[in-house]
């Protein structure tokens, strides 16, 4: 009689409904272990469309790719400066796919820094871009676990134009800050291209209709150029990294 198959080695069981909690726990524990082993405790996260291409300007959006690439490159260089000055640095982190995510990972890679990609398995559109560091390239099944790790170490969120996925990430972030579920009240949430966002979302109308408070508009900040964004973000990054402790 042969040996029985151990439950934790049984792929049929591990992929069953009953083992769902084990899969969820795996997507919590494994990324935490990897981040700790790589010394990742601070990140700057880029959100934005996966559909934007650097060399296709059919919709006039290639400029967003190039701006994200430039901003990530310059932030990665600033991370090196911060490491020399304070002993602390940060990593550029994205959802790991193409478009704006690729641009941000590419910028950090070209600056000579490790860069993080937290991918999600989807039937189309999403595949790891080639600029993610191998040791920080992860894939998730559950959106909510991916979002947890996108935000947990984040010290700034930079949101470029995008569609449903970008809106989902942006508004979940704003809700967590508004409801004080994110223990980083001074985190910077930055939206690139004020005209784009203001045309799509009438933020002031939400205030006028009593749907949000006027103070809620202070949760995020618009910027229209890389230099403007860097001027706003750099001192805030330095301050928040000095005050938030993820070692505990």
Q: What is the pLDDT of residue 1?
A: 56
Q: What is residue 185's predicted lDDT score, i.e. its pLDDT?
A: 75
Secondary structure element (H or E) that encloses residue 108, with its range:
helix 100-110
Which stretches in the chain have pLDDT values below 70? 1-2, 124-126, 246-248
- For residue 211, what pLDDT is reported? 96
Find the largest Cα–Cα distance for the chain: 74
Q: Look at residue 125 in the predicted model and tell me its pLDDT.
A: 60
Question: Which pLDDT does position 126 carry in this prediction?
Answer: 64
Residue 136: what pLDDT? 97
Distance CA 89, CA 81 (A): 8
pLDDT at 80: 97
Residues forming beta bridges with residue 115, ordered by sequence position: 92
Q: How far apart are CA 116 and CA 32, in angstroms?
A: 13
Sign (positive/negative) of CA torsion 117, 122, 126, 128?
positive
**Nearest residue to 43 (alpha-carbon basis) of 150, 138, 167, 185:** 150
What per-residue confidence (pLDDT) applies to 124?
67
Torsion angle of C-alpha atoms 17, 120, 196, 159, degrees rounded to 10: 110
Write down all domains in the chain, each with its CATH number in brackets.
42-242 (3.40.50.450)
Helix axis angle, 62-86 to 100-110, nearest 10°: 40
- 52-67 tens-digit pLDDT: 999 988 999 999 999 9
Task: Compute the distance between CA of residue 56 and CA of residue 187 in angstroms, rounded to an integer.
Answer: 33
What three-state secondary structure class fits 217? helix
């Amino acid at each position: 009689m042969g040996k029985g198959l151990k439950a934790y080695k049984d792929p049929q069981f591990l992929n069953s409904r009953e083992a769902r909690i084990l899969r969820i726990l795996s997507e919590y524990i494994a990324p935490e272990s990897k981040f700790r082993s790589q010394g990742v405790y601070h990140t700057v996260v880029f959100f934005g469309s996966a559909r934007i291409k650097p060399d296709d300007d059919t919709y006039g959006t290639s400029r967003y790719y190039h701006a994200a690439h430039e901003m990530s490159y310059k932030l990665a260089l600033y991370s090196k400066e911060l490491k020399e000055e304070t002993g602390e640095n940060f990593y550029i982190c994205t959802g790991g796919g193409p478009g704006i995510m690729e641009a941000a990972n590419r910028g950090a890679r070209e600056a000579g820094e490790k860069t993080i990609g937290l991918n999600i398995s989807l039937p189309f559109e999403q595949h790891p871009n080639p600029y993610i560091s191998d040791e920080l390239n992860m894939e998730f099944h559950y959106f909510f676990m991916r979002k947890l790790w996108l935000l947990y170490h984040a010290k700034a969120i930079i949101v470029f134009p995008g569609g449903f996925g970008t809106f989902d990430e942006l508004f979940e972030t704003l809700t967590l800050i508004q409801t004080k579920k994110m223990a980083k009240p001074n985190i910077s949430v930055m939206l690139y291209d004020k005209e784009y966002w203001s045309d799509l979302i009438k933020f002031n109308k939400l205030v006028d209709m009593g749907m949000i408070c006027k103070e809620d508009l202070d949760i995020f900040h618009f910027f229209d150029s890389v230099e403007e964004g860097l001027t706003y973000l750099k001192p805030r990054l330095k301050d928040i990294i000095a005050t938030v402790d993820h070692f505990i």
